[in-house]
Amino acid sequence: MNKKKILLGILIAVWVCVIWGHSMQPAVVSHGESGKFLAIISRFVPFIPNDENGMFIIRKAAHFTEYLILGTLLCMEFCTYLKGLWERCLNPLFSGLFVCFIDETIQLFVDGRSGEIRDMWIDFAGVALGTLIVLAIINNKKGRRY
């Protein structure tokens, strides 16, 4: 195994721990963390209100972003040894779906949190976009079209 592959595997494991770590935070802690981001972002992005609607936007954007990064990392990992387009696409998608399923399940057991299907869809959309971005870059570099 080469060092890049090992490093990428470690990075994926660490990122999954970050995602699941956020899910293990009680609602009060998570809400406070989101509130800090909202206070900063609402200064620079005027259309995001500094209220509960803005908090909703920030929280869902955080879900999407966490999983966009995960999808990117997973696709980079699978693209190093899988040759077919379907395998390169489906393996990161199903792996990401598994992570978000566990993520929402964790939240069922945390004070003030709940697992939501809506969040799974947002998470999965992030994984899908991350996967598509990596596949587009890789295929563009190779000059191939599928």
**Domain residue ranges of the chain, discontinuous segments joined by +:** 3-26+56-142
Cα–Cα separations (whole angstroms), residue 69 to 14, 24, 29, 50, 73: 12, 19, 23, 26, 6
CA distance 2 to 112: 43
Quote the pTM value.
0.87
pLDDT of residue 111: 92
CA distance 27 to 49: 21
CA 82: distance to chain centroid?
A: 22
Q: How many helices (H) and strands (E) does the chain have?
A: 5, 0
Cα–Cα separations (whole angstroms), residue 105 to 23, 101, 111, 138: 9, 6, 13, 33
Print pLDDT tens along the chain (146 aa). 688 888 999 999 999 999 999 999 999 998 889 889 888 888 888 888 888 888 999 999 999 999 999 999 999 888 766 666 667 778 899 999 999 999 999 999 999 999 999 999 999 999 999 999 998 888 776 655 54
Instruction: Give which of 87, 96, 90, 94 is closest to 69, Cα–Cα.
Output: 96
pLDDT of residue 7: 92
Contact 108, 119 (CB under 8 A): no
